[in-house]
């Protein structure tokens, strides 16, 4: 049976997705650097700015070991963007939450993500709808993250 990756059309699409991935990261890291944040720090800040999360769950969302989150949150906390709060219902748990300053930074971060604007601006509303539907079907029901 022929491999999809051997199909020229699929190969083109995979290459394009590779370009999208590269572009996504460039823009994300550049936006993060604007605030003197690393990519990982920006991701954690953006995540808990939505709502506070226990360290463990941050690790799950980032798909990394919990021990790594300690350092990332340490550095965010040292800059006053994040704070650790005790969980009254389980004193083992520490909930990481964005401070007012962190929330503001997260908002600026999101706004400065040109990726949302510039590349997609080349597409009409109908095109974006088509793209959304195709990507949805491609990604499938990953209700995971």
**Can you give the binding site for DNA, defined by CB under 7 A?**
38-41, 54-57, 62-75, 84, 90-95
* CA dist 60 → 25, 53, 55, 131, 144 (Å): 21, 11, 9, 29, 10
Which CB atom, from 68 or from 103, has the smaller least distance to DNA?
Answer: 68
Q: What's the gap between Cα 7 and its chain centre?
A: 31
Q: Provide φ and ψ at 80, rounded to 5°.
A: 75, 20
Q: Which is nearer to its own copies, 13 or 74 (CB)?
A: 13
From candidates 56, 85, 104, 132, binder to its own copies by CB under 8 A: 132
Decide: is 139 part of the binding site for its own copies (CB under 8 A): yes
CB distance 79 to 41 below 8 Å: no
Provide the minimum distance between the beta carbon of 47 and its own copies in the complex, in angstroms, as a whole number. Answer: 12
Which residue, 85 or 134, has its beta carbon nearer to its own copies? 134
């Amino acid at each position: 049976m022929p491999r999809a990756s051997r199909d020229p059309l699929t190969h083109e699409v995979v290459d394009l997705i590779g370009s999208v991935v590269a572009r996504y990261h460039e823009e994300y890291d550049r936006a993060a650097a604007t605030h003197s944040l690393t990519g990982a720090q920006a991701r954690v800040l953006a995540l808990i700015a939505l709502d506070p999360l226990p360290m463990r769950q941050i690790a799950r969302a980032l798909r990394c070991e919990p021990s790594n989150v300690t350092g990332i949150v340490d550095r965010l906390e040292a800059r006053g963007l994040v704070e650790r709060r005790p969980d009254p219902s389980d004193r083992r748990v520490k909930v990481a939450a964005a401070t007012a300053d962190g929330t503001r930074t997260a908002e600026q971060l999101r706004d400065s993500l040109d990726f949302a604007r510039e590349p997609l601006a080349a597409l009409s509303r109908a095109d974006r709808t088509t793209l959304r539907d195709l990507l949805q079907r491609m990604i499938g029901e990953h209700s995971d993250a």
